[in-house]
Amino acid sequence: MTIETMTSKQRFLAALNGEALDRPCAASITSVVNFELMDIVGSHFPEANTDPEPMAKLAASAHDVMGFDSVMPIFGIAQEATALGCVVDFSDPGNLPTPQYAPWADRAAEIRLPEGFPDSFLEDKYVKCSLDAIRLLKAHFGNEVMILGKVMGPWTLSYHVYNVQEFLMDTLADPERVRRSLDVLSEVPIMFAKAQLAAGADAIVWADHATGDLIRNTMYRDFLLWRHQALVPQVPAPVILHCCGRSLDRIEFFRDAGFDMYHFESANGAEKMVDGAQGKIRLAGNINNPQVLMQQGPAEVRAEVQRAIDAGVDIIAPECAVPLQTPVQNLKTIVEVCRENARTQ
């Protein structure tokens, strides 16, 4: 007998909680937007990063056009950056915006939040755009589709306001300054997450890029693990960690950090990650972006998705924000394969 059909939101929440599903959940955890999708719905960058209506319209197409069980309106990583004093170019129609100036890179700069925080932060144009887009998505989908918000954790925010190279060097050369940065910035994701939940988000993606490509696992343990354990419970909703790159050597810490789910990349074998999670943290991902989704075809995507399903990944999703050149049909194939794997009891 087939399990009763679920709504997209019910399916996502069941997968998040390790419960029985009607079929595997296919989701947009970070971003599935691409140039072809922009043309289909008539919503393009830069407006879709700076204006709530185009942003919500493009985010909604993840479900309305491609069939994913969740939508995510914050496509890039720079939404908080301008409100924290960074310079960000949002005008490029062909790329996601990224911070270009770090106010704390000058070692004489005081490590503190901008004057007027948190009110000044919430009044920032790009922060307000995100919150308004979430409100529009909630009005559009109600409780039928999972609406995800997204925040940058203190480690990633430090990359933005401190400068990546200087910040990473100071983990060894001046660890007290690093700790000061993390202390000050820890308030930001909690405040922004709560604002997104009030606007209508159902869960929060927490991006903290303490990746094995840049730091040892002991750095995560010593600088971030205890912070996450203290911060994540302050978010009154499910929280999904996103950390790029190699991370098998720190899954033992991630599973004890308080997150409900970890969104992981294809640099980590799905079977090994499932084993490492030990059922203590649910998993989302890990469909390869640069080779499979962007450069190959539906047959290769189909095989990659089936492999992740068979490995026991809880929510099937691209490993990170997809390249903007990714074909819509490849993304639709993720959903198609999940639908073909309808489960029976």
How far apart, in whole angstroms, are the C-alpha atoms of residue 298 and residue 280? Answer: 33
Provide the domain count of the chain: 1
Does any domain span residue 104? yes
For strands 99-101 and 87-88, give the pairing: antiparallel
Is residue 133 classed exposed, middle or buried when 0-12, 13-18 and 19+ CB atoms within 10 A define those classes? buried
Q: Output the DSSP codes for 161-230.
A: HH-HHHHHHHHHH-HHHHHHHHHHHTHHHHHHHHHHHHHT-SEEEEE----TTTS-HHHIIIIIIHHHHH
Residue 260: strand, helix, or coil: coil
Does any domain span residue 264? yes
Residue 93: phi and psi, rounded to 5, are -75, -10
Residue 240 β-bridge partners: 205, 261
Q: Provide the edge-to-edge strand list for the sheet that holds 70-71.
A: 25-26, 315-318, 282-287, 261-264, 239-242, 203-207, 146-152, 70-71
Does any domain span residue 151? yes
Q: Which amino acid is located at 211 in the chain?
A: T
Does any domain span residue 345? no
Up-side HSE of residue 94: CA atoms within 13 Å toward CB?
Answer: 1
Cβ atoms of 254 and 233 closer than 8 Å: no
pLDDT at 3: 72
Report CA 244 to chain centroid distance, whole Å.
Answer: 10
Does any domain span residue 1? no
Nearest to 59 by CA among 81, 74, 79: 74
- Residue showing tokens 């909690």: 190
Buried b or exposed e, range 206-234, using 16+ CB within 10 angstroms: bbbbbbbebbebebbbebbbebbeebbee
Per-residue pLDDT of the chain (345 residues; tens, 9 = 90+): 457 799 999 999 999 999 999 999 999 999 999 999 999 999 999 999 999 999 999 999 999 999 999 999 999 999 999 999 999 999 999 999 989 889 998 888 899 999 999 999 999 999 999 999 999 999 999 999 999 999 999 999 999 999 899 999 999 999 999 999 999 999 999 999 999 999 999 999 999 999 999 999 999 999 999 999 999 999 999 999 999 999 999 999 999 999 999 999 999 999 999 999 999 999 999 999 999 999 999 999 999 999 999 999 999 999 999 999 999 999 999 999 999 999 765
Please state, as a whole number, how many other Cβ atoms lie within 10 Å of the Cβ of residue 253: 18
Contacts of 226 (CB under 8 A, 6+ apart): none
Q: Which amino acid is located at 70 in the chain?
A: S
Does any domain span residue 121? yes
User: For 3-19, how does the pLDDT look when each residue is reduced to its tens digit (9 = 90+)?
Assistant: 779 999 999 999 999 99
Has this prediction a pTM greater than 0.95? yes
CATH of the domain at 176: 3.20.20.210
Q: Output the DSSP codes for 6-38.
A: PPHHHHHHHHHTT---SS-EE--SS----HHHH
Sign of the alpha-carbon torsion through 8, 10, 13, 19: negative
pLDDT at 344: 64
Contacts of 166 (CB under 8 A, 6+ apart): 102, 105
Does any domain span residue 240? yes
By residue range, what is the domain housing residue 179? 8-340
* Assigned token pair, 276: 């490492």
* Long-range contacts at 211-219 (CB < 8 A, ≥ 24 apart): 211/243, 211/244, 211/245, 211/246, 211/247, 212/245, 212/246, 212/247, 212/248, 212/249, 212/250, 213/244, 213/245, 213/246, 213/267, 214/168, 214/245, 215/168, 215/171, 217/249, 217/250, 217/253, 219/171
Does any domain span residue 2? no
Residue 131: strand, helix, or coil: helix
Residue 124: strand, helix, or coil: coil
**Element holding 284 (H helix, E strand):** strand 282-287
